[in-house]
Amino acid sequence: QVQLVESGGGSVQSGGSLRLSCTVSGFTRDTYCMGWLRQAPGEEREGVAAIDSDGTTKYADSVKGRATVLVDNAKNTLYLQMNNLKPEDTAMYYCAADPRACASGGYYLILGPIPAPEYWGLGTQVTVSS
């Protein structure tokens, strides 16, 4: 059974940083596309970042240059480092995973106009105050 459990959210001031973590279990990382989604109140779900099994990453334009997604395979943990946070980054952040390789559709399922990965967690809240 695939499980994704996020942690690390919190409240920070504009310009601050946070590192979100996601512990994963129930699947083999080798072929999955993994990443992060977010959803602000009243807004559509938005893809933030994705990482392929070979470490290749892609980011939404809204966070490019401020976000880094990485995986620690030994710890079965996915991270999202967010720097220079802005009030518009305020949202619930969800860890996401899809059994399709990123280059075979996974990127689109996580970062496309209507994110729909097969699995995601319960989320961790990030609040950025100005």
Predicted confidence (pLDDT) per residue in 10-19, tens digit: 999 999 999 9
DSSP 28-40: -TTT-EEEEEEE-
| Chain centroid offset of residue 53 CA | 15
**What values do phi and psi take at 48, rounded to 5?**
-110, -50
Contact 41, 127 (CB under 8 A): no
Maximum pairwise Cα distance, the chain: 40
Q: What is the pLDDT of residues 18-56, one digit of tens each?
A: 999 999 999 877 789 999 999 999 999 999 999 998 899
